[in-house]
Structure 1
Amino acid sequence: MLTQRCNSYYLREEDGLYTSSSLIPLIYSGLLEQSPWQQLLVTLREVMASDVAAITLRTGSQHLSPMIIWDREQPLTQNQISQAQADHARLLGDDPLNQLLRQSGDIFILEEVIERDALEASDFYQCLMKPYGIEHQIGMCFAEPSGWVCTIGLMRGGERSAFNSTDKEILLELLPHLEKSLAVLARLKHSEVECSVFEQALDKLGLGVILLDRHAEVVDCNEVAKNMLRKHESLTILNNRLFSQRDKEALDKSIQEAIAASDSHPAIPYIQPVRLSAGFEELGLLIRSIDTALYQSDKSPKVIVYLSNPMRDNVLSTQLIRCLFGLTDTEAHVVMLLCNGFTLSEVALKLDVAENTARVYSKRIFAKLGVGRQVELVRMVLGSVALLA
């Protein structure tokens, strides 16, 4: 049996259940959209002959507001959207369906959970349903193991019929796909946070990172690397490739060798340092192959290029040094200056004290930290987590 819901979408009955070839692919492709499942909601609203379709996403944290993605047949003005969002946040606890949608697979029709007279007397109906012409609702909950929970809702105006058991069956058929898709979304967002944390650590250490594919084209580049490239004429990105006018042959050779090492079966580790000179400033490069055995494509990263500037100042936090090593504010300031390459006489000038006073501070610091020379002090501090502050 075929049931037509709109001009171009059909639901067919198979073994007593309804399926939709139009909806399931959109559940998974929706993970790549800026607002997840936006196109799914458009299609689902049309297939289910509804006026509004919405997904409310909660990440499991009580401190974060839920993310609401929706589609309406009749778009709202920005003022209406703002008012609806404010009213929804205020009256969420009074939503008859929301109170019951707690576990994955919970599904209810509005008329099943509240009498019509009680509904029309509620603030939820008066503020969030009636003003927007909503009379009928159906809602379903889907979740994933790490704690992310979504509710999907469909709404119809009074000129349409109420939702029924057939509509429930359609949503329940989508349930396993929605659960899997939500689990993938949670994992993707978790990975994005991890990548952001690692990238921030590299930024703090002053390491530039550039990823190249098998064609030696730039796949990605962190902010530190971009800043270094802006300041150093010895290296630049030209036509989406790393280019060095003075050392082009050596740079290209190292990159091609790294690509070949990554393409080997099994992959061969390749590490090659390259130093580019630009006046009084030097830029250090470390070219390294990436083992991509489980991820092979023309655009997959094959080579990682680390950039560092040996001449840059190490930016340290005085407060962090004080806490890490049990120093006074002045002693921590002296340590910071010494680690940034200042001599004792220059430290004295910075602190506006006699050089002998600066020497007394340094001896006191050496005693507290158990070191005997400035080089040992610098090694200790730069080997700690102070650089990550």
Structure 2
Amino acid sequence: MAKKSEMKAEGRLDSERVVSEAVSQDFSASGRSLSFEQMSELIGAIYQGPLESVPWGGMLGLLRRHLRANWATLILRRASVERPALLIRDVGRGPEVDRSPYNHYEVFSMDPFVGLPPDRVVTIDEMIDTDKWMQGEFYKSFIQPINIRFILGADIVADDGANCRLRITRAPTEQNFSDWDKALCQALLPVMSENSVVRRLLDDRS
């Protein structure tokens, strides 16, 4: 039994190694790259995410640091009238479940950065009029107070329709996300959208 478990673990590690190599090659084509070890760590954190006490907290922390962001958030469940949203975040003090007012439907439904092209990384500046956004009630009441201006996002959709939202943010004093930043996240999306990863996590929290 122990030998079988060891073989299964070795097989999983081999699979992660193959994926890491493929993702690293795709990402290197963007003209800049993380090291193979850094990319392997990210891929491993994605596969390990559903087993963590704070799901995908390790991955969020790594993305926040690599992208020089102040927030990295995964929206596992959208808010509805019946129940609040479920968000996991890393803001520099370790992963945690977000319990802010944003989770409630009245606030959550005000967010204009929704309906993104499936499985494609975009910035909020590409999707909406951000000058108008920054003058509005939602930004001034809920986004500006937590020192956010720039947002990078992706709506991750699994083969069977399960979905979650990835959001990475920077402060007004920082620069907007670059093509390199987008390429890193884009390279990771195929791994994150695997049914075995997304569905396993969402089933436990639906």
Q: TM-score, normalised by structure 1?
A: 0.40
| CA offsets 1:115-137 (integer angstroms, 9 cap, x no match) | 33201122221122111111110
Structure 2 CA distance for partners of 1:123 and 1:106, relative to 1, 3 Å: farther
Given the alignment of the two structures, is residue 71 of structure 1 paired with residue 87 of structure 2, yes or no? no
Equivalent in 137, 140, 144 of residue 154 of structure 2? 140
CA contact (8 A) 1:58 1:148 kept: no
* Counterpart position of 1:85: 103
SS at match of 1:56: strand
- Amino acid in structure 1 at the alignment position of 2:157: A
CA pair 117-74 structure 1, distance change in 2 beyond 3 A = farther
Corresponding residue for residue 73 of structure 2 = 54
Q: Decide whether the 8 Å contact of 1:97 with 1:108 is kept in 2.
A: no
Q: CA deviation at 1:110?
A: 1.3
Alignment counterpart, residue 111 of structure 2, candidates 71, 95, 98:
95
Q: Distance in 1 between matches of 2:77 and 2:99?
A: 20
Within 2, Cα distance between the matches of 1:189 and 1:112? 28
CA–CA distance in 2 between the matches of 1:187 and 1:129?
31
Q: Deviations over 1:260-318 (max 9, x none)?
A: xxxxxxxxxxxxxxxxxxxxxxxxxxxxxxxxxxxxxxxxxxxxxxxxxxxxxxxxxxx
Alignment deviations for residues 343-372 of structure 1 (CA, whole Å, 9 cap, x no partner): xxxxxxxxxxxxxxxxxxxxxxxxxxxxxx
Whether contact under 8 Å (2:151, 2:169) holds in the other structure is yes
Q: Sequence identity, in percent?
A: 25
**Higher helix share goes to which structure?**
2
> Is the 1:101–1:151 contact (alpha carbons within 8 Å) kept by the matching residues of 2?
no
Against the structure 1 CA distance between its residues 110 and 185, is the aligned structure 2 distance closer, same or farther, given a 3 Å change threshold? closer
Unaligned regions of 5+ residues in structure 1, if any? 1-10, 194-389
Secondary structure of 1:21 counterpart: helix
Gap runs ≥5 in structure 2: 1-23
Conservation of the 8 A alpha-carbon contact between 1:51 and 1:74: no
1:328-387 CA-to-partner distances (Å, cap 9, x unmatched) read xxxxxxxxxxxxxxxxxxxxxxxxxxxxxxxxxxxxxxxxxxxxxxxxxxxxxxxxxxxx
1:122 aligns with 136
Residue correspondences, number: 173
Amino acid at match of 1:93: S
User: CA offset at residue 112 of structure 1?
Assistant: 1.4
Distance 1:132 1:43 in 2: 20
Query: Does residue 49 of structure 2 align to residue 35 of structure 1?
Result: no
Task: Identify, as 1 or 2, the structure richer in strand.
Answer: 1
1:17-61 alpha-carbon deviations (Å, 9 max, x no partner): 6452331110001121122101111111001100000000138x9
Report Cα offsets for 1:216-250 as digits up to 9, x if no partner: xxxxxxxxxxxxxxxxxxxxxxxxxxxxxxxxxxx
1:90, distance to aligned residue in structure 2 (A): 1.9
- Greater relative contact order (CA < 8 Å, ≥ 6 in sequence): 2
Q: Does residue 199 of structure 2 align to residue 186 of structure 1?
A: yes
Against the structure 1 CA distance between its residues 187 and 21, is the aligned structure 2 distance closer, same or farther, given a 3 Å change threshold? closer
Letter in 1 for 2:128: I
Kept in 1, the 8 Å contact 2:120–2:186? The answer is no
Matched residues in 2 for 1:62 and 1:90: separation?
8
Q: Does the C-alpha gap of structure 1 residues 42 and 109 become closer, same or farther in structure 2, counting only changes over 3 Å? A: same
Q: Which residue, 115, 120, 131 being the options, matches 1:106?
A: 120
Conservation of the 8 A alpha-carbon contact between 2:42 and 2:62: yes
CA 1:97/1:38 → structure 2, altered by over 3 Å: closer, same or farther?
Answer: same
- Partner Cα distance (1:141, 1:40) in 2: 16
Q: Distance in 2 between matches of 1:188 and 1:129?
A: 27
Give me the whole-angstrom Cα distance separating, in 1, the residues matched to 2:29 and 2:202: 37
- Aligned-partner SS, 2:138: helix
Q: Please tell me the residue identity of whatever aligns with 2:103.
A: Q
Q: Which one-letter code corresponds to 2:196 in the other structure?
A: A
SS of corresponding position for 2:41: coil
Q: Is the 8 A contact 2:85 2:103 kept in 1?
A: no
1:173 aligns with 2:187: yes
Deviation at 1:152, TM superposition (A): 0.3
> For the aligned residues, what is the CA RMSD?
3.1
